[in-house]
Amino acid sequence: VPTAVLISGRGSNMAALLDAAADPAYPARIALVLSNRADAGGLERARAAGIPTAVVESRAFKGDRAGFEVAMEAMLAEHGIELVALAGFMRVLTEGFVGRWQDRLVNIHPSLLPSFKGLDTHARALAAGVRLHGCTVHLVRHGVDEGPILAQAAVPVLAGDTEATLGARVLAEEHRIYPAALAWLAAGRVRVAGEIAHVEAPGA
């Protein structure tokens, strides 16, 4: 299934998806890496892997989210994209975009949703004193960091943790669960019933 990965930064989750998709048996094919910033570190990594890349500068569309998305949609169409994976993509998408890609648009968030939606999740987890933290892969709905959950992984919060040490522990899990969850979606194993996503056994 031709899949686009949307990034804004270093792209370590994108790299994990590219690595997984390098296996011909992987059900998603990364056909495009699209960034809203020309300086996103992940672009270089994608180019080195021989993956088509595109930049749609969100800055060039200041105050015109619809125009920005029209430009993105054109890129997605040009590359025959059927699934979109957000991987550190730092723009909020409109209801229109999210609706058009309903159940074909997936995100990774560095917390155990529904806790700690939004930014600075590791600092907030430390400040809250939670003993478990983690990451979530979910289908995207209109609300930020909302939508049916596909996969989660939990990590312990350890004494002496900093944002950096906790974040690194979570990130290692992100790199594990995102390729797995995208594979389920691409293989057609995800059924959505209301707010809940069910993952069927392979071949079911």
- Give the Cα separation of 55 and 75 in Å (integer): 9
Q: Which is nearer to ligand GRF, 87 or 157 (by Cβ)?
A: 87
> Which positions from 78 through 137 interact with ligand GRF, judged by CB under 6 A?
87-88, 108-110
Closest CA to 149 of 85, 196, 194: 196
Written as six digits, the tokens of 97 are 């975009």
Number of separate helices (H) and strands (E) present in the chain: 6, 9
Q: How near is the Cβ of 87 to ligand GRF at its closest, in Å?
A: 5
List the binding residues.
11-13, 65, 107
* Active-site position among 79, 109, 138, 142: 109
Residue with smallest beta-carbon separation from ligand GRF = 88
Assess whether 109 carries a catalytic annotation.
yes
Q: Which window, 3-11, 51-59, 92-100, 186-194, contacts ligand GRF (CB under 6 A)?
A: 3-11
Q: Which is nearer to ligand GRF, 7 or 72 (by Cβ)?
A: 7
Given the structure tokens 């939670």, which residue do they identify?
130
The residues that bridge with 190 in the sheet, in sequence order, are: 199
Q: Tell me which residues are annotated as active site.
A: 109
